[in-house]
Amino acid sequence: MGNRAEQEHAPHRELLDAGWHTEWAPDGAPDDASGPDRIRQVAASGFAALAIPREFGGGGAGLVHVASAQRALGALDPSTAIALNMHSFTVGLMADYWQRHRDTSWMLLEGIAGTGALVASAFAEPGGSPNFMSSRSVAVETDKGYRVSGVKYPCSLASTATLVCLTARVEGTDETILALCPAASPGLTVEGDWPSLGMTGSDTAKLVFQDVELDDRLVFHRGPADVIDDTVISGMVWFSVLLGATYHGVLSALLDLAYRQVSASGQYGPRVALLGRATRELLTLGGACRQLGRDFEDGALAGRAALAAAIALRATLSDVRDRVMSALTPVVGSRLYTSGLPAARLLVDSLAAHHHPPSLLVCDQVVGDHCTGREISFDPAG
């Protein structure tokens, strides 16, 4: 990605980096290291425990500080960043859950910090349902907990995770559980790789659960299925802020390349305005990420208003990605379409911004539903 010191002192980075503060700093990874190896290297640097409260052995970082770390990693290694984003989101949700309930979930957080565990998010399921709250996986109650069967795909950290955070409907009830499952559990298998165009080092594959025994002590939430509660809201806020910050880092790295290319060539003219447009877009996205994160942490925004703001941010990320690429394409030129070049890799990696839940088909509908006083639904057919 070029000389990091030069990037940090560049005028455009003075704008884009303002307000992003993290005590964690990426050290980089060997170019020839595999995706799982890069993930493990970053996780071992203290990244994996950032969101866990200090009293449980973690870094004690809040939402905005974890987002700052995600952004820094996104600029350096998009695949690793998007994989670890799922860990950060899940652990952040658990930390927030403990802050609100002060229950025994602290033991799970302490265990994650003490063992250096990575946690995969097994929420997505085959078929690409636009209703991300709906789970087809089934949990059958047993004397000691549950027996879970189902398929989760695509799932990052598939082979590197120690624990898997999953959702499943409880058979015979209208409830869903949210639980941690040891990745080494009998009946849990990893199948294949996700044949994606970008983010190819994110260790993404299919997880198959076949009568996997789940101890009740690993279940940290059980509630009505498809109901928007505080856990859903918190999860969506954490996910949207961290996701926006991660891709802010990816797009900032591409903008770095564009600025260096123009400066080296000395060919300014209309390119200056295009660079300014791309910078302005990222400046706005970064401010929106930090503001939502701070408002949620401070309690200034809560409930369904916070959910609507999070959904709006997730959709805005996709819009900003496309506007940034539109501005930079004439500037960077054929480097964006030349195999093996950093600009081309960043272009393809950034496309993944469009394919995270909730579906873009429903994002504006959700915001409109909230603002007109209607019941929010994530199912466009509902």
Predicted confidence band at 25 (pLDDT cuts at 50, 70, 90)? confident
List, for residues 289-346, the tens digit of each pLDDT value: 999 999 999 999 999 999 999 999 999 999 999 999 999 999 999 999 999 999 999 9
Sign of torsion over alpha carbons 14, 19, 23, 24: negative
Alpha carbon of residue 315 to chain centroid: 14
Token pair listed for 73: 């990693």
Instruction: Work out the burial of residue 282: count CB atoms within 10 Å of its CB; fewer than 13 is exposed, 13-18 middle, 19 or more buried.
Output: buried
Q: What is the pTM of this model?
A: 0.94
| Residue 137 CB partners (closer than 8 Å, separation 6+) | 125, 148, 149, 150, 151, 152, 166, 167, 168, 169, 209
Q: Is the pLDDT score of 68 beyond 60?
A: yes
Position 152 scores a pLDDT of 96
| Token pair for 189 | 């298998």
pLDDT of residue 264: 94
Taking residues 147-154, report their average pLDDT: 96
The answer to whether residues 218 and 109 touch, using CB atoms and an 8 Å cutoff, is no
CA distance 77 to 43: 13
Q: Is the dihedral of CA 44, 65, 161, 231 positive or negative?
A: positive
Taking the C-alpha atoms of residue 70 and residue 116, their distance in angstroms, rounded to an integer, is 18
pLDDT at 379: 76
- Which residue reads 């959702």 in tokens? 167
User: Apex CA 353: angle with CA 351 and CA 356, to 5°?
Assistant: 125
Residue 115 has pLDDT above 50, yes or no: yes
pLDDT of residue 2: 44
